[in-house]
Structure 1
């Protein structure tokens, strides 16, 4: 978590806690990341990484569903690559098998990030531990 907070600080992003329609959000105009209160540590970490991904890509709110979905996928993939290493994923899969929730628990991330990481693995976009 400290590395994510450091990255936010380096990018001059402000992090606030507050309710919203989703677990988190990024406002490019104010350079603010919003995190919902009451989330578990692993969800908070995953949502923060996801919102940092939006900031990294310079995403702005998209009204077109296809563009919004693309932005969400990019943010999930960026977050997954920051929070999951190929070695940790391989060890988690060896220990827990293919069950998404078990993998997410073992890796300390959300199911969405495990799914994004698996998609990157299928595309050959991340190295396979060996």
Structure 2
């Protein structure tokens, strides 16, 4: 959590805890991330990473459904990629036999972000690829699976 707060400070984004109508959120015009008070560590860490994703990706609030949905997906993907170490994921998946909630607890992330991370994985033969793209050798990370 401290690393995320430090990143926010480096980016000039203020992080506060404050009750509001919506649980948490990012206000681009004020460079402000609001977290709900009393959130559990896993949730706060995941939400903060998600909101930082909005900032880093340059998202602006919109009421247009398809763009809003895309922005939420992109912020979740950014958060998942920055909070979940692929090698640790492989180890935890083996230990927990793929049980989502246990894995999320061990990885210290919200279950939603673990689901997003899983959706970015592709298993082919004896290897797992993170964020594969078209073309030979086009992936973010490749891990041999035994």
Same fold (TM over 0.5): yes
- Alignment of 1:40 with 2:40, yes or no, is yes
Gaps of 5+ in 2: 123-128, 132-139
Structure with more strand by fraction: 2
1:76-102 CA-partner distances (Å, limit 9, x unpaired): 110111110111100110111222211
Structure with more contact order per residue of length (Cα contacts < 8 Å, sep ≥ 6)? 1
Cα-Cα RMSD = 1.5
**1:106-121 equivalent positions in 2, closer than 5 A:** 106-121=106-121
Q: Which residue of 2 aligns with 1:57?
A: 57
- Alignment of 1:129 with 2:132, yes or no, is no
Gaps of 5+ in 1: none
Shift of 1:21: 4.2
Q: Distance in 2 between matches of 1:98 and 1:65?
A: 33
8 A contact 1:86–1:128 mirrored in 2:
no
Superposition TM-score, scaled by structure 2 size: 0.83
Superposition TM-score, scaled by structure 1 size: 0.92
- Name the CA shift for 1:21/1:114 in 2 (closer, same or farther; >3 Å): farther
